[in-house]
């Protein structure tokens, strides 16, 4: 049947459907004193004593039969506790060889009532049909020895087996009779990786590491396998796992020197692993403790294998201690133990000679019962039978071992109702149907019955533990009878309370018996969300940021709904509740439940409009919230106050029908401070900001606007987060702007309102005035009016100020522009035209003093300190200079150095470079305008030389083609020649510039030419060097003769001049003249020379 065993305080209470309280062995038995014990007996021989382990642990079938899995035996052992007898079931041939001594490691009762064997060295899973005792094998053959060490039934009704030598988790599906592998090939390594599997309260499965260096974690919902922790190397570290009353799993130390603690749901929501409990207390050594059992007081007792004493763990205190007498030095004393209904722990002997009994309430530890001999591993495990007896499963022993439960003293009891578990949902009708247990004493069901709920952890006998759940009647004494004799208790509609699966259902026959004779019928589960209330776990959402509400609770597996209503209005479930409305927010919103039903997430959207403030979150389950058409019907269905939500952001005006859906309008004047004041809830000076953007079809998607004088993005200027300062606009008539509020970076924009800047248009071209010429300024503005005010704001009160020095800001003081005009100007009648007078320059000195740049600043009122709008610059120029028309010049005859543009006139002190047509060059590189005079006054455009010059006897001069005016082309002459000069381009023609090394008399027609040399002619005296054009030499005559008709020879372009000459002999002897002096000096005179007497 459906056993429910509950530990409450000092009592172990078991409810079994169909059992009565007659002789009361089950319903409400108390822990027995140490003197009361089970009667021990040996059953008939079932097999000869063996040196091979025969069977492993057993599972209790619904039929009341225990089935033990074969280890070395040839078949399954069927144990009948009431007769202390057993038989071996025949079936398919099981494993042989090495596999024959380790066939199956564990037995698991499946959801179909069959018992399944976990294959160790066997190649297939084993199934026992407990109705017919037929044994079958199924699943693909998986070879290998010692593959899987243990298995447990998961929350999805499949069996999960942890690997020893296998490299994967084995998954057995009873519904389809198939097996599959998880994390196949990923879990290799150690010999005996994990030895035991435990199902945690959250449905996750954890494997206890023996040789493995980490805990094995199987998420049944996500179907994932992973390892947790870094527990180091070593063999046999932990031998078994026990689920504590605190929901944590504790590993029994084998060779480890600390208890392993696995928290399935740590503070961060993920499992955690710790191996520090008992460090310094637990000694070293291998396989110290074999097994563990949790006692009703919450402490865990470790069964000694090689250790000499029992180890007791107190999870609440996090301490361990060795207790009891020494149990000897044998290395394998005991196997598995269990907690019997008398409150004592009984341990199956391995090498021990008797059963070990541990009484947690007294601390008594002793060997009890029949002497069982000194053989090794006599019994592999103890199993609790349906009649309350403890059965020993033979390992090497030849007989069953039975421990019969003690008789319970007391009077016969009336039959209580059948045990039941009730599940109710917040916001839904809740009822409990009680029926009488068949057989036994007379039924106690009747109109005087009392039913009530006890909070998690409480006891039915404790009146202070009664649960208070608004909407539910507890205790409830009113019930309705049915034709079958059952009673229906209408408990009401729970609307508040802590969802939990651990409430107790308590019953008493009458109100008088509540204090002395109560029955604990089962568990009450309250489904729904845990409240998130303001001041604690309330929800905070910001305008412009995605709003998500995460609910936690119990069994939120169905789609849930939330609706937002005003907290100041009627409560959840009222038809008059005020439903909130936001642009961008789904209301109501549907939640998406987590896979395990422990939570649901409602993505409500991004609030862009609506009223910030406090709201209630009203919850309903999908089946109640939706009508047949899928629409949300009435507000009464949302009766559960699941929490409080506050929206923070700016308060927008009404749009005429709904508050919070309008747009604010900000109007600023050019030249005045542009500030925004807004209201709201939860505004932040650190994170909020307002941006000015171009209006767009989708609000706040346009680009940021750069308005002169204003910042386009402003943070709050005060700690309240309500004031924003954009600066002072230096231009007006700016419209079509959006004010966009942001809660923080990367948030969506909230379209808060619009912005218009009134005043004249700014940013236009600067104003230029010339001396001796009237000067005026005409302002413009955008057309139309807003709220009766013209956008330009023009009027007689306007004023214009001139600020000196070309300042970029209007903060400087006004200045007197020139003698005939003050620094402040009034407009014409229409308010748009300002006459700045005629600046006259009597002479250059006066003109020079007032020329320059000024700043034009405008004020709507003319009051001091209001001239904040910067209209632009005023530049006062002297009379300009026109550039004269020149033949072959470009139409715009000069390029301005100031603007780099082609111009036909210059301002004062402006320079330009003359511009000529193609193939022409200006005669002046720069023109300058000074007080109306151009220097130089004009220029010429001179043509370039487009052809190469012709040079007699010269080399190629094609590189000179295209040279501009006044650029030289050096002559290129062959070796042995000399150039006549160089060529210079002059207005399209080549001009010859003579070589200064050649005398003018030696030039021939002043044309470019390469003059040839004469070499070393024989007609020149000996030693004469090579003659170049223009060089001379003395003529050469033989035998002392001299040239009579040429004193020198001239080289002219390769020819000597004269080409010939006459040689005459010299007078060798001195002349003889009478009465003359000595004439010997005359001897040797050349022909034609005179000798003076």
Distance CA 359, CA 596 (A): 38
Could you read off the pLDDT of 571-587 as tens digits, one per residue?
Answer: 998 989 999 999 999 99
Backbone φ, ψ for residue 451 (5° rounding): -125, 135
Among 711, 707, 687, 691, smallest CA distance to 699 is for 691
Contact between 345 and 362 (Cβ < 8 Å) = no
More confident residue, 765 or 843: 765
Q: How confident is the model at residue 843 (pLDDT cuts 50, 70, 90)?
A: low
Q: Three-class SS string for 280-339?
A: CCCCCCCCCEEEEEECCCCCEEEEECCCCCEEEEECCCCEEEEECCCCCCCCCCEEEEEE
Alpha-carbon Rg for the chain, nearest whole angstrom, is 58
Could you read off the pLDDT of 983-1006 as tens digits, one per residue?
Answer: 999 999 999 999 888 877 777 777
Distance CA 1056, CA 1012 (A): 11
Could you read off the pLDDT of 749-767 as tens digits, one per residue?
Answer: 999 999 988 888 765 567 8
Q: How confident is the model at residue 782 (pLDDT cuts 50, 70, 90)?
A: low
The helix or strand, by DSSP H or E, that contains position 424, with its residue range, turns out to be strand 422-425
Mean pLDDT of 478-496: 83
DSSP label at 512? G
Tokens representing residue 244 in the block: 């504590």
Percent of the chain with pLDDT over 70: 87
More confident residue, 806 or 317: 317
Given this model, what pLDDT does residue 50 score?
Answer: 61
DSSP label at 623? H
Distance CA 163, CA 174 (A): 19
| 137 pLDDT higher than 50 | yes
Contacts of 749 (CB under 8 A, 6+ apart): 544, 608, 691, 693, 699, 700, 740, 741, 742
Angle made by CA atoms 712, 717, 719, in degrees to the nearest 5 = 140
| 878 pLDDT higher than 80 | no
Angle made by CA atoms 589, 533, 687, in degrees to the nearest 5 = 80
| 941 pLDDT higher than 80 | yes
Given this model, what pLDDT does residue 438 score?
Answer: 53
| 287 pLDDT higher than 80 | yes
Mean pLDDT of 101-120: 92
Backbone φ, ψ for residue 459 (5° rounding): -130, 150
Angle made by CA atoms 971, 974, 979, in degrees to the nearest 5 = 40
Contacts of 231 (CB under 8 A, 6+ apart): 209, 212, 213, 214, 215, 237, 260, 273, 275
Distance CA 162, CA 167 (A): 10
| 747 pLDDT higher than 80 | yes
| 26 pLDDT higher than 50 | no
Angle made by CA atoms 340, 343, 349, in degrees to the nearest 5 = 50
Tokens representing residue 953 in the block: 């006897």
Q: How confident is the model at residue 16 (pLDDT cuts 50, 70, 90)?
A: very low
More confident residue, 460 or 627: 460
Distance CA 51, CA 54 (A): 9
Report the Cα–Cα distance between both ends of the chain, in Å, rounded. Answer: 179
More confident residue, 836 or 991: 991
Given this model, what pLDDT does residue 51 score?
Answer: 66
Among 277, 218, 288, smallest CA distance to 253 is for 288
Among 442, 528, 521, smallest CA distance to 489 is for 521
3-state DSSP assignment of residue 704: strand
- pTM (2 d.p.): 0.47
Backbone φ, ψ for residue 674 (5° rounding): -110, 100
| 49 pLDDT higher than 70 | no
Q: What is the mean pLDDT of the chain?
A: 84
Give the least confident one: 9-23, 102-116, 294-308, 320-334.
Answer: 9-23
Judge if the upstream peptide bond of residue 853 is cis by omega within 30 degrees of 0. no
Given this model, what pLDDT does residue 750 score?
Answer: 93
Q: Work out whether the CA dihedral 528, 533, 537, 543 comes out positive or negative.
A: positive
Q: How confident is the model at residue 411 (pLDDT cuts 50, 70, 90)?
A: very low
Contact between 649 and 741 (Cβ < 8 Å) = yes
């Amino acid at each position: 049947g459906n056993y429910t065993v509950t530990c409450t305080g000092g009592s172990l209470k078991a409810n079994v459907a169909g059992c009565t309280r007659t002789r009361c062995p089950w319903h409400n038995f108390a822990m027995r004193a140490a003197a009361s014990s089970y009667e021990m007996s040996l059953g008939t021989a079932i097999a000869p004593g063996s040196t091979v382990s025969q069977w492993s642990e057993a599972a209790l079938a619904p039929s009341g039969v225990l089935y033990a899995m074969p280890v070395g035996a040839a078949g399954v052992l069927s144990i009948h506790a009431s007769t202390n007898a057993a038989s071996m079931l025949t079936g398919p041939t099981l494993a042989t060889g090495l596999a024959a001594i380790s066939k199956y490691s564990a037995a698991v009762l499946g959801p179909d009532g069959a018992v399944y064997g976990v294959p160790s060295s066997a190649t297939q899973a084993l199934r026992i049909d407990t109705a017919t005792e037929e044994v079958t094998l199924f699943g693909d053959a998986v070879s290998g020895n010692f593959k899987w060490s243990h298995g447990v039934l998961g929350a999805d009704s499949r069996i999960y087996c942890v690997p020893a030598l296998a490299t994967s988790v084995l998954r057995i599906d009873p519904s389809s009779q198939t097996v599959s592998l998880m994390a196949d090939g990923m879990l290799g390594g150690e010999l005996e990786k994990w030895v035991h599997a435990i199902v945690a309260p959250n449905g996750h499965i954890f494997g206890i590491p023996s040789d493995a260096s980490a805990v094995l974690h199987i998420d049944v919902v996500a179907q994932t396998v992973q390892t947790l922790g870094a527990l180091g190397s070593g063999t046999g570290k932990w031998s078994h796992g026990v689920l504590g009353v605190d929901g944590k799993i504790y590993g029994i130390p084998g060779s480890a020197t600390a208890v392993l603690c696995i928290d399935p749901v740590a503070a961060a929501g993920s499992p955690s692993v710790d191996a520090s409990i008992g460090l310094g207390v637990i000694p070293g050594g291998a396989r110290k403790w074999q097994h563990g059992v949790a006692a009703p007081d919450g402490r865990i007792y470790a069964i000694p294998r090689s250790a000499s004493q029992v180890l007791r763990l107190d999870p609440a205190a996090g301490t361990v201690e060795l207790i009891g007498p020494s149990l000897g030095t044998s290395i394998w004393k005991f196997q598995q133990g269990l907690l019997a209904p008398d409150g004592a722990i009984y341990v199956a002997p391995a090498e021990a000679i008797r059963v070990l009994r541990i009484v947690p309430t007294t601390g008594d530890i002793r060997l009890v019962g029949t002497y069982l001999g000194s053989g090794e591993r006599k019994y592999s495990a103890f199993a609790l039978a349906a009649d309350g007896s403890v059965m020993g499963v033979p390992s090497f022993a030849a007989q069953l071992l039975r421990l019969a439960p003690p008789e319970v003293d007391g009077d016969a009891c009336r039959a209580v109702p059948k045990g039941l578990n009730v599940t109710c949902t917040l916001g839904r009708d809740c009822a409990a149907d009680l029926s009488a247990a068949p057989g036994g004493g007379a039924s106690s069901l009747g109109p005087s019955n009392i039913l009530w709920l006890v909070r998690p952890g409480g006891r039915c006998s404790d009146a202070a533990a009664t649960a208070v759940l608004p909407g539910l009647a507890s205790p409830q004494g009113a019930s309705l009878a049915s034709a079958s004799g059952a009673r229906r208790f209408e408990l009401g509609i729970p609307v508040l309370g802590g969802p939990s699966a651990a409430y107790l259902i308590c019953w008493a026959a009458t109100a008088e018996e509540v204090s002395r004779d109560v029955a604990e019928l089962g568990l009450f589960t309250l489904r729904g969300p845990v409240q998130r209330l303001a001041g604690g776990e309330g929800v905070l959402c910001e305008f412009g940021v995605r709003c998500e509400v995460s609910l936690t609770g119990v069994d939120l597996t169905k789609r849930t709904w939330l609706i937002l209503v005003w907290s100041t209005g009627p409560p959840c479930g009222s038809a008059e509740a005020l439903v909130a409305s936001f642009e961008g927010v789904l209301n109501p919103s549907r939640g998406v439940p987590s896979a395990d039903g422990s939570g649901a997430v409602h993505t409500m959207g991004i609030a862009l409009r609506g009223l910030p403030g406090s709201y209630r979150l009203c919850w309903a389950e999908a089946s109640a919230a939706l009508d047949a058409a899928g629409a949300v019907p009435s507000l009464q269905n949302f009766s559960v106050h699941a929490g409080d939500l506050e929206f923070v952001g700016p308060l927008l005006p009404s749009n005429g029908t709904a508050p919070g859906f309008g747009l604010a309008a900000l109007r600023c004047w050019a030249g005045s401070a542009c500030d925004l004041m807004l209201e709201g809830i939860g505004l932040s000076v650190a994170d909020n900001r307002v941006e000015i953007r171009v209006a767009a079809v989708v609000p706040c998607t346009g680009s940021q606007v750069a308005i002169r004088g204003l910042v386009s993005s402003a943070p709050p200027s005060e700690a309240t987060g309500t004031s924003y300062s954009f600066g002072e606009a230096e231009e007006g008539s700016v419209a079509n702007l959006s004010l966009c509020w942001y809660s923080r970076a990367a948030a969506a924009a909230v379209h808060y309102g619009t912005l218009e800047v009134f005043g004249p248009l700014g940013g236009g071209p600067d104003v230029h005035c010339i001396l001796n010429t009237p000067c005026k300024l005409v302002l413009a503005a955008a057309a139309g009016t807003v709220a009766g005010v013209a956008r330009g704001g023009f009027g007689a009160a306007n004023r214009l100020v001139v600020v000196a020095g070309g300042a970029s800001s209007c903060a400087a003081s006004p200045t007197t522009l020139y003698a005939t005009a003050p620094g402040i100007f009034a407009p014409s009648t229409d308010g748009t035209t300002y006459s700045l007078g005629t600046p006259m320059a009597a002479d250059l000195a006066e003109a020079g003093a007032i020329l320059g740049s000024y700043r034009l600043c405008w004020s709507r009122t003319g009051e001091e300190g209001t001239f904040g709008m910067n209209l632009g610059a005023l530049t006062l120029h002297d009379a300009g200079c026109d550039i004269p028309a020149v033949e072959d010049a470009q139409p715009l005859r000069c390029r301005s150095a100031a603007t780099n543009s082609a111009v036909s006139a210059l301002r004062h002190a402006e320079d330009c470079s003359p511009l000529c047509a193609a193939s022409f060059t200006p005669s002046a590189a720069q023109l300058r305008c000074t007080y109306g005079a151009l220097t130089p006054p004009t220029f010429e455009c001179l043509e370039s030389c487009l052809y190469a010059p012709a040079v007699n006897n010269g080399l190629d001069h094609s590189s000179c083609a295209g040279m501009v005016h006044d650029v030289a082309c050096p002559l290129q002459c062959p070796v042995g020649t000399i150039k006549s000069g160089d060529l210079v381009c002059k207005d399209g023609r080549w001009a010859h510039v003579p070589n200064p090394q050649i005398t003018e008399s030696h030039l021939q027609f002043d044309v470019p030419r390469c003059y040839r040399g004469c070499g070393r002619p024989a007609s020149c005296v000996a030693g004469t060097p090579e003659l170049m054009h223009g060089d001379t030499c003395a003529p050469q005559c033989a035998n002392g003769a001299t040239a009579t008709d040429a004193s020198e020879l001239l080289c002219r372009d390769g020819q000597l001049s004269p080409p010939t000459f006459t040689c005459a002999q010299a007078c060798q002897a001195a002349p003889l003249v009478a009465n003359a002096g000595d004439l010997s000096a005359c001897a040797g005179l050349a022909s034609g020379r005179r000798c003076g007497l």
